[in-house]
Structure 1
Amino acid sequence: MSFTLATWNINSVRLREPIVCKLLEEEAPDVLCLQECKSPVDKIPMERFHALGYTHMVARGQKGYNGVAILSKIPMIEAGAEDHANLGHARHIAGKLENGVTIHNFYVPAGGDKPDREINEKFGQKLDYLTDMRDAFRADAPEKAILVGDLNIAPREDDVWDHKKLLKIVSHTPVEIEHLAQVQDAGKWVDITRQDIPDGLLYSWWSYRAKDWDEADKGRRLDHVWATPDISASAHSSRVMRAARGWEQPSDHAPVFATFDL
């Protein structure tokens, strides 16, 4: 079975229902993983998604903050939801497809503005969340699995617009990069996007603060698609849909795609 997957931090699924539907209509991924839905599950606008063929959903939500959902055309059952670091946040949901593949959808804490847990509680929460993810994958090694989401870290030098300038900026600090690497190593996860696009600057997020985000192009690759080694070779056609960042009332993130032949 071949299927295409997309991951997108939508920054409010209800506010941006029109562009979610635009993506579903124009790109028609088999599976769409959304983060920062900012909605209780029962308020997610499933009626229009269902009409477009996305008849399966697993989700965790809360009012106004966080929230993750997986929409699928392919039959899918819920496969768990973890509250890493016991934050009480809706930041993870997993779904299992009929071909046996488990998809983990994560929204890792952003971490606030200061990269110092002594003065910034949110940064400590981010590091603790990543540590808990690492320990979970060490304890229960994933197989036939895909991990996607807004991981809120741009790990490589060419994942940011200026490596030196961003070394002390949350999302690209050495301590965050090391924590993310430990998560990746714990699950033996393969970075599918960089497997397909190994070289060159690549971003999935551009700040709302930029007057002309496209021309300034001060981006970061915060959104990721990983897979376990047993299925990573089946992945291809990775891309960041940059154009969606320029849609009407956009998210500050762009969708990231990959296709798997399994």
Structure 2
Amino acid sequence: MAFTLATWNINSVRLREGLVARLLQEEGPDILCLQECKSPVEKIPRDQFAALGYGHMVARGQKGYNGVAILSRLPLEDAGDMNFAALGHARHVAARLENGTVIHNFYVPAGGDKPDRAINEKFGQKLDYLTEMRDWFRDSRPEKAILVGDLNIAPREDDVWSHKQLLKVVSHTPIEVEHLGNAQEAGGWTDVTRADIPEGQLYSWWSYRARDWDAADKGRRLDHIWTSGDLKNAFHSSRILRAARGWDQPSDHAPVFATFDL
């Protein structure tokens, strides 16, 4: 069984329904995982996506914030969700394919502006969320699993435009990188994108604040695809669709792709 999977923080699935449709039509991934849908599940435009061949959806939503969805051309069933850090947010959903592969779609908290939990509650929530992810992976080690999503951390020095300048900026601080690394290690996860593209600067997010995001190119790799240890030889063809960041009224994230042979 071969399939291509994409993950994309869409920053409102209803506002950017047309961009989702464009991606499905032009790139044709078999599975598309969306984060920050900002919509109750019943208001996600699933009929429009079904008309393009994506008749299967598993999602968790809430009005105006967060939200995760898995759209698929392949049959899948709901495999539950986790409420890490007791936030009550729609930040995780899992789906199971017919071959038993489980896809976890995550939207990790961004963490606010100040990397200090003593003065910034949101940063503390982010660290707690990652800690509980670590504990869950350690207690029930993933098998035949793929994890994707906006993890809101750029872990490597070449995952950001300037390692030195971002060391004290939320998303690249040493404590965040350590927490993400601990979660990855606890689950025996492989970073698919970097296994396929091991060298060079690589970004999936560019701020809306940049006057010309493309020319400035001050990006970060916040969006990830991981695979459990038993599937570490089953992927190829990783890429980031940078061009989507330049589409009309875009998300500030670009879609990340990988193909799996299972």
For normalisation by structure 1, the TM-score amounts to 1.00
Q: How far apart, CA to CA, are the structure 2 residues paired with 1:209 and 1:52?
A: 33
1:64-107 deviation per Cα after TM superposition (whole angstroms, max 9, x unaligned): 00000000000000111000010010000000011111000000
How many residues align? The count is: 262
Q: Does 1:131 align with 2:131?
A: yes
**Structure 1 residue 27: Cα displacement:** 0.4
What code does the residue aligned with 2:207 have?
A: S
Query: How far, CA to CA, are the matches of 1:195 and 1:115 in structure 2?
Result: 29
Q: Corresponding residue for 1:70?
A: 70
Task: Give 1:1-262 correspondences, 5 Å limit.
Answer: 1-262=1-262
Question: 1:196-216: CA deviations, max 9, x gaps?
Answer: 000000000000000000000
Q: Percent identity?
A: 76
Partner secondary structure for residue 113 of structure 1? coil
CA distance in 1, matches of 2:67, 2:219: 24
Q: Runs ≥4 in structure 1, deviation > 4 angstroms?
A: none
Alpha-carbon distance between aligned partners in 2 of 1:68 and 1:17, rounded to the nearest angstrom: 14
Q: Distance in 1 between matches of 2:204 and 2:147?
A: 16
1:232 Cα deviation after fit: 1.7
Amino acid at match of 2:218: K
Report deviation, 1:37: 0.1
Alpha-carbon distance in structure 2 between the residues aligned to 1:255 and 1:249: 15
**Letter of the structure 2 residue corresponding to residue 173 of structure 1:** T
CA-atom RMSD in angstroms: 0.4
Question: Structure 2 counterpart of 1:102, which letter?
Answer: V
Q: TM-score, normalised by structure 2?
A: 1.00
Shift of residue 47 of structure 1? Answer: 1.0
- Counterpart residue identity of residue 50, structure 2: H
**Whole-Å separation in 2 of the counterparts to 1:194 and 1:175:** 21
Unaligned runs of 5+ in 1: none
